[in-house]
Amino acid sequence: MSVILVVDDEPHLVRTLAINLRARDYVVETAGDGRSALQSFHDATPDLVVLDLGLPDLDGIDVLRRIREVSKVPVIVLSARTDSVDKVEALDEGADDYVTKPFTMEELLARARVALRRDRETSDTGPAAFETGHFVLNFSERRALVEGAEVRLTPTEWRLLEVLARAPGHLVSQQDLLREVWGPQYRRESNYLRVYANQLRRKLEPDPGRPQYLLTDPGQGYRLVCKPDPLV
């Protein structure tokens, strides 16, 4: 039985979410501010966190960062903020999904099911490590070494690499990457892939302008290869 931590400072919304989630056999923990959320997170070890950004004490992004320091648990962000900058920041800091208020209960429940299912599938099939002659990715410990030096990758960058590393050398379509990394509602946001691929190349490739390991098939998708093509 999955445990879901709901964090929001609107008591009516928390109560509504709790009733609907418990009716579907989830165990629900609740918190109305950031500090209580972090305490509940450590006490309850939830399988999913539903996190509002507009909390009265700590900003939701700060709560998300602290969770990501110790856990890969799925996090669905709730927010009345509609600016794409806020959305990108939340996803880049490790949110698995971003739901804009107001929303329907059916939509949130569907996204919760997707996040929990994706987390189980990743745990079952995720690669332990990926190694090239230039960098090493340790997915179990979330450590990236480039020529022996540690490089920090964001949670979203790790998720993108995990999906690619499951099928080394093989093309992974844009639609599959968007669905698995950001969720089904982002299947048309191909610009996300370009931004994150460029970020990863700057961090991992010997020459980001002429990538050897993270390759693009224009209009189709991406592939992660262990050895560079000798013609590159």
The per-residue pLDDT string of the chain (232 residues; one tens digit each, 9 = 90 and over) reads: 789 999 999 999 999 999 999 999 999 999 999 999 999 998 888 999 999 998 999 999 999 999 988 888 899 999 887 777 888 888 888 888 889 888 999 999 998 988 888 777 665 556 778 999 999 999 888 889 999 999 988 878 888 999 999 889 999 999 989 888 877 667 777 888 998 999 999 999 999 999 999 999 998 999 999 877 654 4
Judge if 97 and 133 occupy the same domain: no
Please give the residue range of the domain that contains residue 24: 3-124
- Dihedral through CA 12, CA 18, CA 24, CA 29, nearest 10? 170
- Check the CA dihedral 49-109-116-220 and report its sign: negative
The domain boundary, picked from 99, 124, 149, lies at: 124
Is residue 230 situated within a structural domain?
no
Give the pLDDT of residue 230: 54
Give the pLDDT of residue 231: 46
Judge if 176 and 198 occupy the same domain: yes
Judge if 14 and 120 occupy the same domain: yes
pTM of the model: 0.64
Judge if 143 and 185 occupy the same domain: yes
Q: What CATH number does the domain containing 165 carry? A: 1.10.10.10
2 contact partners, CB below 8 Å, separation of at least 6: 26, 27, 47, 48, 116
The domain boundary, picked from 94, 124, 154, lies at: 124
Give the pLDDT of residue 71: 83
Judge if 65 and 119 occupy the same domain: yes
Is residue 86 situated within a structural domain?
yes
Is residue 229 situated within a structural domain?
no
Judge if 166 and 113 occupy the same domain: no
Judge if 115 and 156 occupy the same domain: no
Enumerate the H helices of 126-173 as residue ranges: 155-165
Of residues 53, 57, 15, 16, the one with CA closest to residue 36 = 57
Enumerate the H helices of the chain as residue ranges: 11-23, 34-44, 60-70, 84-92, 105-125, 155-165, 174-181, 190-204
Is residue 25 situated within a structural domain?
yes
Number of domains in the chain: 2
Is residue 120 situated within a structural domain?
yes
Judge if 97 and 131 occupy the same domain: no
Judge if 111 and 7 occupy the same domain: yes
Q: Do 21 and 47 meet the contact criterion of CB atoms below 8 Å apart?
A: no
Judge if 117 and 134 occupy the same domain: no
Judge if 188 and 144 occupy the same domain: yes
The domain boundary, picked from 90, 124, 158, lies at: 124
Give the pLDDT of residue 149: 94
Q: Give the tokens for residue 22.
A: 């418990």
